Amino acid sequence: MPTYRYVVADVFTDRPLSGNQLAVFTDARALPEASLQPLARELALSETVFVLPPEQGGHVRIRIFTPAMELPFAGHPVLGSAFVLGAPLQLGEIRIETGAGVVPVRLEREGARIVFGRMEQPVPSWRPYEREAELLAALGVGRSELPVELYDLGPTHAFVTLASAGEVVRLSPDLAALARHPIGANCVARDGERLKLRMFAPGHGIAEDPASGSAAGPLAVHLARHGWTSFGDEIEISQGAEIGRPSTLYARADGSPERIERVEVGGSAVVVARGEFKL
């Protein structure tokens, strides 16, 4: 009976049992296509990664699955995979092929241990979200401080900005109504020098995400475009505490409102478990 090994990492944290969980099947070449989605559903984490040989000049290629669907790109699977694979490959930068293109991740070490990673994300496109009123009603909020816009970098994210971090903490959205929006629904507010974020994506099989790497980059773009921050500033994002998985993400957008030059998202990760499936 074939055996398929995987690693579990907690991503966007430096402490085990926090952050966003990720399973990485480090060699998925022999895994049948028909097993990929059922394995992601079996593990029931936000995302599961299957590592394959590169096809576009990268070091590896990955496929990313939520319990409900395959995604072309997601942030914490890319960063977590870089931590899992970068150590044995002894790379300072690992280039990871995704459905949204090749994503380079720079790895910072203390001795032999990887302690931080910074990924250059695809530059998102954006437009006003045409279902804004429905989204606000589903979230249970009256208005957004900034325009509600939809950002697309493979997955799509809408951003609703609230007046205080307390409003974000107290959110109790209608998940059934949110599931009719096939997007990540993000609510954010200033929290001192940091930003407080919660992201809901029941339409993707994720009621609430502990750490949303694919939202962090577009959020940096969104806030800079609308003057909440400046281009080139690094923002610190706090997420996940409400569901017992506190996470910290860092993001920066370089350029101008007319031309985004670079979007970078960073954070830490720790490997917490190893296992195998016999199928």
At 112 the pLDDT is: 85
What domains sit in the chain, N to C, each tagged with a CATH number? 3-121+267-278 (3.10.310.10), 125-265 (3.10.310.10)
pLDDT grade for 48, boundaries at 50, 70 and 90? very high
Q: Is 130 a catalytic residue?
A: no
At 176 the pLDDT is: 97
At 32 the pLDDT is: 95
- Average pLDDT (181-186) is 96
Query: Is the pLDDT score of 1 beyond 90?
Result: no
At 23 the pLDDT is: 98
Query: Is the pLDDT score of 74 beyond 90?
Result: yes
Query: Is the pLDDT score of 90 beyond 90?
Result: no
Query: Is the pLDDT score of 243 beyond 90?
Result: yes
Cα separation of 25 and 50, whole Å?
5
Buried-state track 30-56, b at ≥16 Cβ within 10 A, e below 16: ebeeebbbebbeebebbbbbbbbeeee
**Which range (70-84, 85-99, 130-144, 188-202) has the least confidence?**
85-99
Query: Is the pLDDT score of 189 beyond 90?
Result: yes
Query: Is the pLDDT score of 187 beyond 90?
Result: yes
Helices in the chain by DSSP H: which ranges?
33-43, 75-89, 132-139, 165-169, 175-178, 213-225
Instruction: Please state, rounded to an integer, the average pLDDT across all residues of the chain.
Output: 96
At 172 the pLDDT is: 97
Cα separation of 164 and 170, whole Å?
10
**Which range (65-74, 117-126, 164-173) has the least confidence?**
65-74
Give per-residue pLDDT as tens, 132-157: 999 999 999 999 999 999 999 999 99
Cα separation of 224 and 53, whole Å?
37
- Average pLDDT (233-261) is 97
Query: Of 33, 42, 47, 134, which residue is the catalytic one?
Result: 47
At 204 the pLDDT is: 87
Query: Is the pLDDT score of 88 beyond 90?
Result: no
Q: Which single residue is written with the structure tokens 């977590």?
A: 80
At 56 the pLDDT is: 94
At 143 the pLDDT is: 97
pTM for this predicted structure: 0.95
